[in-house]
């Protein structure tokens, strides 16, 4: 067996060209308050806004004033006491110094006529890119206009390459069609005249041929498979990958899924949940829509193979583990025993065996160490699991656990609605009851070893009423989630997330103040991330709206929110 590939997983919740920023006016007096409005930021920690002198780069030394966005995707911030001058406000993601959007404004003295300002959004464009022009302090006359000229040419009408009215607005943002390679100036004119009021130079360069490549790890996938897109020799900054229907245009409306390359020149990204169809993976430089490389692949509908793997849920440390399988294809199919939460990489295999070219059968594994495992079955010597089932190797006899759990739950103060308790004999053990329609099962959670979800087959009878606490099963992670109703002070529903290294540690908590207590929780990306979907409860403007948050839980000691979106 050999290692076939490694998956690199990234999640992003922003949009191309999404962030915007603007001031409530374009001209201020020195005594005025400057209100800056921002929209479609990430809404995550450390997005920020900076005021810079016009013409200065985004270095920290050039910042005149700055503010955090307050973890908001959209909102307003206020600046005061800015000295007179021309300024550019810029917005930045995640404490970086790469401006996602910018806008000009001016602080002037009293009764000073403001000069007309004009500039392009970028100084250099590719030949396929649209050119955006910002113009400020025009007269507001219906026949004020803007023209694009070859650099250093006269204002004669015959030299105009493209032009547009300003629509009678004093301030406007105009878009021009892609231009041929060359050096240009954009110029502003009042009242249909040819007298330049302001100008700005920019250039259009030829798109150079590169050795950039993009491939997928396979050309044909089934609907349940992840698609890994590999790229090489990207330029890095604001490069991105798009999944498009085959032979469709590069318009944003055609994008099925996308991701930044995360400023990597070589790397990969994994896409999930693509519907059946024919696609192309395309890569783009610098937030553009010019394809640098593409690669075709297809997603086919799943065929019902009825592949299954069955196994007991619990074994003693000296027991043989028998894995039963059905619905295999036969040739070079195999079974692997993996620790829960580990990828299908060959390096993670604890034990393995061929299915001996039979479609239905079983295999016995011996001498597995204590731990929490999955038995996974694979077709044709691949590393894509067709079915899997969990089991646990434990040291304590199950009947002993059952007796201790039953006693704990039946003691005074641990009956009726109380369905969660700690074992006095072993502080690392938590007992939980899972309510079902027919019976209640005891689960044990071993906080010391990270083992949880040991299901016992014995019923302990029904406990009436709404439970005060219950266990929320999470796959592929050593995080343990518990719902609990706190009736101390102001009653509150809370979700507690525990993690064990040397002793149980509370690492995350959600309460009813933000509506997440009634959400849905699941792990994704092999237990590396936590997905929370919920309806916000404390904002009347958000009634009926659902939200999704993704947390990075790969390091439970440092859980981070990495995206938040409305769904």
Phi and psi of 488, rounded to 5°? Answer: -120, 125
Does the domain formed by 20-172 have CATH 3.40.50.12780?
A: no
Cβ neighbors of 283 (< 8 A, separation 6 or more) are: 212, 214, 231, 234, 239, 240, 241, 242, 261, 291, 292, 293, 294
What SS3 state is found at 425? Answer: coil
Q: pLDDT tens for residues 246-300?
A: 888 888 888 899 998 888 888 899 998 888 889 999 998 888 888 888 999 988 7
Residue 193: predicted pLDDT: 94
Query: Which of 482-486's residues contact partners 24+ apart within 8 Å by CB, and which partners?
Result: 482/420, 482/430, 482/432, 483/517, 484/420
**Which of 194-203, 293-302, 422-431, 477-486 is least confident?**
422-431
Distance CA 385, CA 374 (A): 11
Residue 62 clears pLDDT 80, i.e. is over it: yes
Instruction: Identify the pLDDT of residue 357.
Output: 87
> Which overall architecture, per CATH, does domain 213-300 show?
Sandwich (2.60)
Token pair recorded at residue 395: 């040291």
- Rounded to an integer, what distance in angstroms lies between the CA atom of residue 315 and that of residue 499? 24
Please provide the size of the chain in residues.
567
Ordered DSSP codes for 375-408 = EEEESTT-S-EEEEEEEEEESS-HHHHHHHHHHH
Confidence of residue 66 (pLDDT cuts 50, 70, 90): very high
User: Taking residues 389-411, what's their average pLDDT?
Assistant: 59
Asked if residue 346 has pLDDT above 50, the reply is: yes
The CA R_g of the chain, rounded to the nearest whole Å, is: 31
Confidence check: pLDDT of 152 > 90: yes
69/25 Cα distance (integer angstroms): 20
Evaluate whether the domain defined by 308-384 bears CATH number 3.40.50.
no
**Residues facing residue 120 across a β-bridge:** 133
What pLDDT was estimated at residue 32? 85
* Res 552 pLDDT > 70: yes
Task: Supply φ then ψ for residue 416, to 5 degrees.
Answer: 55, -115
Q: Which stretch, 7-21, 203-217, 368-382, 395-409, has highest mean pLDDT? A: 368-382
| Burial status of residue 23 (CB atoms within 10 A of its CB: 0-12, 13-18, 19 or more) | buried
Alpha-carbon dihedral angle through residues 215, 220, 221, 227, given to the nearest 10 degrees: 0
Q: Report the b/e string of 406-421 with b at 16+ CB within 10 A.
A: bebbeeeeeeeeebbb
Tokens linked to 563: 């995206």
Cβ pair 553, 530 in contact under 8 A: yes
* Residue 187 clears pLDDT 90, i.e. is over it: yes
Task: Please report which helix (H) or strand (E) contains residue 410, including its range.
Answer: helix 398-410
Domain(s) of CATH 2.60.40.1930: residues in the chain: 20-172, 213-300
For 121-150, what is the mean pLDDT? 87
Residue 502 and residue 448: Cα distance in Å, rounded? 7
Task: Average the pLDDT over each of 115-129, 419-433, 507-521 and give the range with the smallest value.
Answer: 419-433
């Amino acid at each position: 067996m050999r290692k076939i590939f490694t998956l690199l997983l990234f999640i992003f919740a922003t949009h191309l060209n999404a962030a915007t920023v603007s001031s409530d006016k374009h001209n201020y007096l020195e005594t005025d308050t400057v209100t800056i409005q921002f929209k479609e930021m990430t809404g995550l920690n450390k997005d920020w806004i900076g005021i810079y002198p016009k013409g200065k780069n985004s270095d920290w030394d050039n910042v005149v004033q700055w503010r955090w966005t307050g973890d908001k995707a959209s909102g307003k911030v206020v600046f005061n006491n800015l000295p007179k001058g021309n300024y550019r406000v810029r917005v930045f993601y995640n404490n970086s110094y790469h401006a996602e959007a910018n806008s000009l404004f001016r602080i002037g003295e009293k009764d000073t006529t403001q000069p007309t300002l004009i500039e392009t959004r970028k100084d250099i464009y590719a030949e396929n890119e649209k050119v955006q022009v910002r113009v400020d302090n025009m007269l507001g006359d219906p026949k004020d206009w803007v023209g694009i000229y070859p650099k250093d040419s006269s204002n004669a009408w015959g030299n105009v390459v493209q032009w547009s009215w300003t629509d009678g607005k004093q301030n406007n943002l105009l878009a021009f069609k892609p231009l041929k390679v060359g050096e240009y100036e954009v110029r502003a004119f009042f009242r249909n005249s040819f007298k330049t009021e302001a100008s700005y130079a920019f250039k259009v360069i030829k798109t150079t041929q590169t050795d950039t490549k993009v491939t997928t790890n396979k050309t044909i996938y089934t609907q349940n498979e992840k698609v890994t897109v590999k790229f090489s020799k990207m330029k890095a900054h604001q490069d991105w990958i798009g999944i498009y229907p085959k032979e469709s245009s590069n318009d944003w409306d055609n994008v099925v899924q996308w991701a930044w390359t995360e400023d990597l020149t070589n790397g990969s990204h994994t896409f999930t949940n693509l519907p059946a169809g024919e696609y192309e993976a395309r890569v783009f430089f610098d937030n553009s829509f010019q394809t640098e490389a593409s690669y075709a692949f297809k997603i086919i509908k799943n065929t019902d193979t009825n592949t299954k793997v069955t196994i007991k849920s619990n074994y003693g440390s000296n027991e043989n583990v028998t894995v039963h399988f059905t619905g295999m294809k036969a040739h070079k199919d195999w079974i692997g025993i993996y620790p829960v939460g580990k990828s299908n990489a060959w390096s993670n295999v604890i034990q393995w065996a061929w299915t001996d070219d039979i479609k239905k059968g079983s295999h016995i594994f011996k001498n597995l160490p204590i731990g929490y495992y999955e038995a996974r079955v694979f077709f044709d010597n691949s590393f894509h699991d067709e079915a899997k089932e969990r089991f646990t190797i434990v040291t304590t006899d199950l009947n002993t656990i059952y007796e201790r759990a039953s006693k704990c739950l039946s003691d005074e103060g641990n009956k009726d609605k109380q369905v969660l308790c700690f074992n006095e004999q072993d502080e690392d053990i938590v007992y939980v009851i899972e309510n079902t329609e027919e019976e209640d099962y005891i689960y044990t959670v071993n906080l010391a070893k990270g083992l949880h979800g040991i299901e016992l087959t014995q019923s302990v009878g029904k406990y009436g009423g709404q439970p005060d606490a219950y266990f929320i099963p999470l796959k592929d992670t050593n995080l343990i989630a518990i719902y609990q109703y706190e009736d101390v002070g102001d009653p509150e529903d809370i979700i507690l997330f525990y993690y064990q290294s040397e002793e149980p540690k509370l690492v995350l908590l959600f309460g009813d103040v933000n509506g997440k207590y009634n959400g849905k929780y699941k792990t994704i990306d092999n237990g590396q991330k936590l997905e929370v979907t919920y309806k916000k409860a404390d904002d009347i403007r958000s009634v009926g709206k659902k939200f999704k948050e993704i947390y990075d839980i790969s390091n439970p000691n440092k859980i981070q929110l990495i995206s938040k979106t409305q769904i």
